[in-house]
Every structure is written in C-alpha cells, then in structure tokens.
Amino acid sequence: MKKLTSILLVLALILTGPAALAAEAPPEPEKASAPAPDFDATVTDAFSYESGDGLTFRVPKIEYGGEGIQAVNDAIWADLYEDQLYSEYGAMTAIEEGWSPEPYHVSYEWSLNGDVLSLLTVSSYSGDYDVYSVYNVSLSAGRRMADQELLDVLGIAPEDFYDLAGMALTNAFEESNAPMPEDEFKAQQRQANNAEANVRAVRPYLDGSGDLCVIATVYALAGAGQYYRSLTILESRQLPAVITSADLPEEAPADSRLAYFLERCDSEALTRTDLDGFDAQMCLYARNGIYARSGRKFLDQDLQRFYEQFDWYDPAVEPAQFTDGMLNGYQVKNLALVLAYEADMGY
C-alpha cells in the first residue's frame, strides 16, 4: 500500500510540476516607452531682455535633441544675438553705450503641425520696417527642412505654390497702393513686386491655424519702398489632415532660392532681390557656385559634394588651373553682387 501511495505521489508531481513552475515564473517586465516630448515647451527663450521703456528682445531656442536642430539654434543665435543685439552696432551694444537701439524689438512665434515646426523670428526697426527669418524644422528627421521639402510634405507642386504666391503678392501690392495715382514709378514698383525673382524669394511656413503662409517682399510707393509681410496663400482645410515628415532623408537638399540663383548666375544679371534672406552658408554656396558653373573642382569636399547634386555641374577644371578669366560677364557681375551682399550683411 505504501509503495502504491509513493507511486501516485510521484505521478502527481510529474503531472503538476510544469504547471506549478509556470505559475510561479515572474512576469515579463514591461518595456519602457520613450517619454513623449513636451510640445508646449518645444521653443523657449535662449535670451530675453525687457526695459521699462518698451524695448523687448527675445531670442528663441528649439528644445529638442540632435545635431541638426542644434545647427538651427546656432544659426538663430548668430543672426539675432550676435549680429543684431551684440555686434558693434547692435541693439544691446547701443543700450549699454547710451544711444538709440536698432532693432528696437526682437521676438518670435512658432507653431507645430504634425511634426513640422515652423519658427518665425521678427526684428522691428524704425520706420515701421520688420525683418523676418523663417525656420521650418522636421522634429522626426531632427533637422531644418528645405522649402521644397515642406511643399512635398504638403503635397503642393512648386509651380502651384509660386502661382499662389504670385497672386498673393499682386493682391497685396494693389491693396496697399490703391489710393496712389497711376504713374511711371507705380508701374515700376508693380513690375518689381510681381517679378519672378521676387515671387521665388518668398519663404513658406505654417502658422498656428495650419494655414500655408509666406514671408514676402511687397513693394510700396512710400517709406522704405519695400516691406516684408506675411501673406496667407492656402487655408488649412485645403492641406493634408496629417502633416508628417518622418520619411525625409538625413540631409536637406539645396534651398530652392539658392538653386534658382545657381541655375541663372551664368546667363542672367541677377539682383539684390535674388539674394534676399540668404544666410552666410547660402552666400558661400552662391559665390563658389559661380565658379562651379564654369566647371571648377573644389578641394573642400563639402563644396564638391554640394555641387555634385546638380545636373549642370561638370567638374572639369582643377582648382590650380582655374582663373577668373574663365568667367563670363554675367558671372563677374553676379560675383560682385554676392560679395557686396555679404559685406552689407556682415558675413
């Protein structure tokens, strides 16, 4: 009887053992999910100053990781803090030395649509003149977006975009200058306002309502003669419901305005308007691009790789063999244009 009981106990242990072991095994630990970004604080002040007499200066910073976004922050800092506030004739330098500051107001606004961050900075000068800079950033790709990439994300063809921008510029000019009599000067300003170069110089961005807007140069008949303005060209209900830039490549293509300059620098006498909004890096590419149009190779590998993305680039002349005599008249004039612009901007 004892032997039978022992056998039954062994069988019971064999049958129940695995189940018991399974029941006693600790549960699989849950995988920790990545913390969601605090989109309410995506952009904060990197520098701020406010005086009792109404002077306000705010320099923004994008609070998001990655070298690509840090490069955007560095560009904003260089433009606003180093050039406009603390340069030799900057606003903060003027305040510290006791003379009238220009600009007298620096601020920013930003919006997030999907993972596309649009950051707009504005510097206000006397004479009711504002200067804007536009930064469109893909948070998923972690870098600044080229204008063409923003249009691609929105599903808008470039020709449609420039048609819309052209109509908005025309309407803005006519509305602003309607009371003024028609004369030769007004006709000249209208022509400059509606010129292809001015239309292609617009900078797209998305506002807080999700509307597609542009910063554009609208010509006037008084004051400075031309002003930067924000114009809405397409309402959000006509754009995709979800805006995502997750599939962007690691590096942005050349800015469309820079590509426009490079395509024409050896065949047209370009103007200051064609350079409006160019930063120091774009000027570097524009200046050397004039040589690239004549087939010059570059020892600087960054420059060499940049021009190799263009179909027109035929690297045939070694740097040591290249001379300025290989440039045509248009290239010489456009080179002088870029150098003058760089000098004016302090690049």
Residues 262 and 178 grouped into a single domain: no
Residues 291 and 156 grouped into a single domain: no
Average confidence (pLDDT) over 232-246: 90
The predicted pLDDT at position 40 comes to 63
Strands 56-62 and 105-113: parallel
The predicted pLDDT at position 41 comes to 72
The predicted pLDDT at position 297 comes to 96
Decide: 240 and 264 in contact? Cβ < 8 Å: no
Q: Is residue 281's pLDDT more than 90?
A: no
Q: How distant is the alpha carbon of residue 207 from its chain centre? A: 14
Which residue type does 207 have? D
The predicted pLDDT at position 8 comes to 40
The predicted pLDDT at position 37 comes to 46
Nearest to residue 278, comparing CAs of 200, 345, 204? 345
Residues 180 and 311 grouped into a single domain: no
Average confidence (pLDDT) over 260-276: 92
Write the pLDDT tens digit of every residue in 155-180: 999 999 999 999 999 999 999 998 88
Residues 197 and 294 grouped into a single domain: no
Omega before residue 253 within 30° of 0, cis: no
SS3 content of the chain, % helix, strand, coil (to 5): 45, 20, 35
pLDDT confidence of 2, banded at 50, 70, 90?
A: very low
Average confidence (pLDDT) over 272-297: 92
Look at residue 283 and tell me if it is in a domain.
yes
With residue 203 as reference, give the H or E element that holds it.
Answer: strand 203-206
Write the pLDDT tens digit of every residue in 27-66: 444 433 334 445 567 999 999 999 988 899 999 999 987 8
Containing structural domain, residue 185 = 39-238
| Rounded Cα–Cα distance for residues 139 and 272 (Å) | 33
Decide: 244 and 170 in contact? Cβ < 8 Å: no
Residues 172 and 269 grouped into a single domain: no
Q: Is residue 23's pLDDT more than 70?
A: no
Write the pLDDT tens digit of every residue in 295-347: 999 999 889 989 998 999 999 999 999 999 999 999 999 999 999 999 988 88
Q: Strand locations in 220-343, DSSP E?
A: 226-234
Look at residue 168 and tell me if it is in a domain.
yes
Cβ neighbours of 302 (radius 10 Å): 9
Write the pLDDT tens digit of every residue in 73-83: 998 999 999 99
The predicted pLDDT at position 17 comes to 45
At 314, is the secondary structure helix, strand, or coil?
coil
| Rounded Cα–Cα distance for residues 216 and 168 (Å) | 9
Look at residue 34 and tell me if it is in a domain.
no
Q: Is residue 228's pLDDT more than 90?
A: yes
Residues 133 and 164 grouped into a single domain: yes
| Rounded Cα–Cα distance for residues 222 and 343 (Å) | 27
Q: What is the DSSP letter of 236?
A: G
Residue bearing the bigger pLDDT, 40 or 144: 144
Write the pLDDT tens digit of every residue in 102-127: 999 999 999 999 999 999 999 999 98
Residues 204 and 161 grouped into a single domain: yes
Residues 284 and 192 grouped into a single domain: no
Look at residue 21 and tell me if it is in a domain.
no
The number of C-alpha atoms within 13 Å of 20 and in the hemisphere containing its C-beta is 6
Look at residue 128 and tell me if it is in a domain.
yes
The predicted pLDDT at position 188 comes to 95
Q: Is residue 185's pLDDT more than 50?
A: yes
Number of domains in the chain: 2
Residues 187 and 267 grouped into a single domain: no
Residues 180 and 122 grouped into a single domain: yes
**Average pLDDT of the chain to the nearest whole number:** 87
Residue 12 burial (C-beta neighbours within 10 Å; 0-12, 13-18, 19+): exposed
The predicted pLDDT at position 224 comes to 82
Residues 324 and 212 grouped into a single domain: no
Residues 64 and 192 grouped into a single domain: yes
| Rounded Cα–Cα distance for residues 18 and 20 (Å) | 5
Enumerate long-range contacts of 110-113, CB under 8 Å, 24 or more apart. 110/42, 110/43, 110/60, 111/206, 111/207, 111/208, 111/210, 112/39, 112/42, 112/139, 113/206, 113/210, 113/243
Look at residue 23 and tell me if it is in a domain.
no
Q: What is the pTM of this model?
A: 0.77
Q: Among the three residues 174, 207, 238, which one is the final residue of a domain in this structure? A: 238
Look at residue 16 and tell me if it is in a domain.
no
Which residue type does 171 have? N
CATH number at residue 332: 1.20.58.1690
